[in-house]
Amino acid sequence: MTLVEQKKEIKPILKKHVNTIHSSNNLTLVQRKLFNALLFNAYHDMPEKFQYEIPIKKLCNLIGYDSRDYKKLRKSILDLLTTAIEWNVIENDQGEKKEKWRASSIVAAAKIENGLCIYEFSSVMRELLYRPEIYGKIDIQIMTQFKSSYGLALYENCIRFQSIATTPWLPINTFRKLMGIAENRYQNFCDLKKRVLDIAVKEVNLYSPIKVVPEIKRVNKAVTSIKFKLLENKEVTVNVENDLLEANADLLSILKRDFNLSDKVAIDILDRYDPEFIQEKITLIKASENFRLGKIRELAAYFIDALKRDYKPSKSSQRLLNEIRNQEEAKIKAEKAKEDQLQEKAKKQRLEVINNYLGSLSEEALSTVYKSFEEDIITSANFYVRKNYKKAGLKNKSVEMLFNSYVIDIIDKNLELEPT
């Protein structure tokens, strides 16, 4: 599941589920960027929609694609439809851990028309992508600068370990898969280092807020695994931090003034959490009785804990009853809307049957129907119906409804008379 924050369009961040990062695939640079851009664009609509759209020009800007060769772009999107991601989910079922395997193509469907790219993710993919518990934070603006798929793949696979300053040891075959290297390429480590590793490390260190330093493990002179030490890239970090502060100046002021957080802690919070999520906890705490009465000790620590544990408003019995009532009302409303829709559909079908029948009659037969209906009204209808018919004829709604029912009766009688 994938979390996106867009801070006044200054620092667009994609929080990408690690299962979509640490996956074996042979995506090209354009395909990797496309995947990230499509996720970023769709994120906020994922709970409500299954289909998303983005102008082609905007999509090209997001991935730094300045070519007018849209055939290549279409081919890259098509390849996302045929590329699968698989992952395992551990679930507790009555105290017993069970592993569930899931898989999906990256994109389920796509089309380009009228300057728009319209696309879909599968339901299992949307479940994976929306609000991830474990993710890597990918800066879309940084992503656009990469010139090779190896550099972007290394950046994505390293950035989630930034807080612990090192990746785990990766068996060399695992590293090859994460980089998207075909099995028959660069079997010799010298070639792998020259064609993949050196290029990837150079790009990450040039464009991203981390500097990566590879460490190699050998057994009998053969390279068996690799890991990366992660250092702060101060030149890039300063620019990123300035953007962060500029985009959230008001929120930063509240964190420092009202919750007594230091600059460093406040900036770290802004970098870790969505501004909306932070504001939600600020509002929650300030609305609490303990806050108003001054009973919260160590307010800064309490606020940080509220973020980590995702504090929610306490529920009174009345509030719970209100929620249940609202849910029932919503259910009744949805059922009524469905019933109205069915009735409207039936009404349209009924009118279609009537019009088809009347249209099939000769002028003489049609005149007979109208004359018969008029005689029926004169002899059987009440005063008001006769008055309405005399005044407006079939243009009167109540008269029109009677006429339609009259025609339906004729159709039904004709059906009964037909031989079976």
Q: What number is the average pLDDT over the span 155-160?
A: 88
CA-to-CA dists, residue 404 to 119, 328, 398, 410, angstroms: 45, 37, 10, 10
Give the helix ranges, DSSP H, for 82-161: 123-129, 140-143, 149-159
Q: How confident is the model at residue 5 (pLDDT cuts 50, 70, 90)?
A: very low
CA-to-CA dists, residue 296 to 147, 219, 301, 302, 308, angstroms: 51, 57, 10, 8, 17
**Which CATH architecture is the domain 145-235 placed in?**
Orthogonal Bundle (1.10)
Which tens digits make up the pLDDT trace of 66-111? 877 788 888 889 999 988 877 765 454 555 556 677 788 889 999 9
Cα–Cα dist 293/383, whole Å: 74
Domains 1-142 and 145-235 share a fold: yes
Tokens matching residue 51: 């289909």
What integer pLDDT is reported at residue 93 of this predicted model? 52
Cα–Cα dist 14/44, whole Å: 11
Closest CA to 132 of 249, 274, 19: 19
Q: What number is the average pLDDT over the span 228-246?
A: 69
- The larger pLDDT score, comparing residue 4 to residue 165, is at 165
Cα–Cα dist 418/113, whole Å: 51
pLDDT at 253 over 80: yes
Query: Would residue 165 be called left, alpha or beta, if left means φ above 0 and alpha means ψ between -120 and 50 degrees?
Result: left
Which tens digits make up the pLDDT trace of 165-199? 899 998 998 898 888 888 888 989 999 999 999 99
The pair phi, psi for residue 419, each rounded to 5°, is -70, 140
Which H or E run includes 56? helix 56-63
Cα–Cα dist 415/412, whole Å: 5
What integer pLDDT is reported at residue 89 of this predicted model? 54
What integer pLDDT is reported at residue 67 of this predicted model? 78
pLDDT at 378 over 50: yes
What integer pLDDT is reported at residue 27 of this predicted model? 82
Give the helix ranges, DSSP H, for 160-197: 172-179, 189-192
Q: What is the pTM of this model?
A: 0.54
pLDDT at 385 over 60: yes
Most confident of 24-28, 100-104, 119-123: 119-123
Instruction: Say if CB 15 and CB 3 are below 8 A apart.
Output: yes
The pair phi, psi for residue 113, each rounded to 5°, is -155, 145
Lowest model confidence (mean pLDDT) among 180-189, 274-283, 381-390, 395-404: 381-390
Lowest model confidence (mean pLDDT) among 18-22, 105-109, 228-232, 377-381: 18-22
Closest CA to 84 of 109, 100, 103, 101: 103
Cα–Cα dist 129/267, whole Å: 26
Closest CA to 284 of 321, 257, 259, 252: 259
What integer pLDDT is reported at residue 236 of this predicted model? 62
Pairing label, strands 135-139, 170-171: unpaired
pLDDT at 239 over 60: no
What integer pLDDT is reported at residue 331 of this predicted model? 86
What integer pLDDT is reported at residue 98 of this predicted model? 62
CATH class of 1-142: mainly alpha
Which tens digits make up the pLDDT trace of 260-298? 888 778 877 877 777 888 888 888 888 888 888 888 888
Q: What number is the average pLDDT over the span 128-146?
A: 78
Tokens matching residue 341: 């829709």
Closest CA to 388 of 404, 406, 400: 400
Q: Count how many Cα atoms sit within 13 Å of the Cα of residue 385 in the half-sphere of its side chain.
A: 16
Sign of the torsion formed by the C-alpha atoms of 130, 135, 141 and 144: negative
pLDDT at 61 over 50: yes
Residue ranges covered by each domain of the chain: 1-142, 145-235, 248-309, 361-420
Which tens digits make up the pLDDT trace of 317-357? 556 567 667 888 888 888 888 888 888 888 888 888 888 88
Pairing label, strands 51-55, 109-113: unpaired
